[in-house]
Structure 1
């Protein structure tokens, strides 16, 4: 059997090419999944930091009493569907897990992690932090107007003002998107 010159090189290139194709079909899905998981963790971390900033500002204004005011800045990631911070927010029921009410107002940030534009209704897609403020079930409640929260991604500057209105205590929220 006479071998043509260079046949071994061609066979080597074919075998190496086949191995690279097999390697690519295995590693690309793993890479894509790891990248998606890293993006999700990053969104959750940014949302948790924003919720912590909002909760701390509410606690500070509440503890300082009527007449106090505080302005904070925080970053919201893409995929935030809603921010709740009012006396009706205490606990949550999701399709996979529940958080029981504890008579303390919560700050909740609802996220869309699957990209369909709606909250995913799973515990992993919500950031929930307690505040010092009593919830609606408590007679010492403070009315918090959270309808002014903007959910656009980017930097936000939010002012919390504690005041009396008609004999009731209010924390007024004004939020603007900076960038």
Structure 2
């Protein structure tokens, strides 16, 4: 894969992840686990970020202490703490950066889930994943605006270069 394309993908995907991080960091602890479910929504976003970054997601399991509740259409046993979700996000950010940096023959690289309902070229799953992150980051920013009258600034590209 062309090096310039890897750099473009990382700058934009990294910025999306950074925007999610900033929303999580700005959320007051007192608002994290409320009826608005900020903490749960943040976890959901990070869980699927990890899943869609897994080159062969068949048999995917998230790191401890997270469960597969997202696949079972149920809330997790508990709302994970802000620190737990942020640590999971940092894990995923590195996973994303490493995946993009290591892209080689994208024409033959496919991502397919267990149910075979989704089969994407690796570039398309990266774009799909980035859209998912931005979708939920926008929801979190709206919640922050509504409840604390503040939201993080726009990030136009990841600061760390590929």
Specify the structure having the higher radius of gyration (Cα): 1
TM-score class, shorter-chain normalisation, is 0.3 to 0.5
TM-score by length of 2: 0.32
Decide which structure has greater helix share: 2
TM-score by length of structure 1 reads 0.30
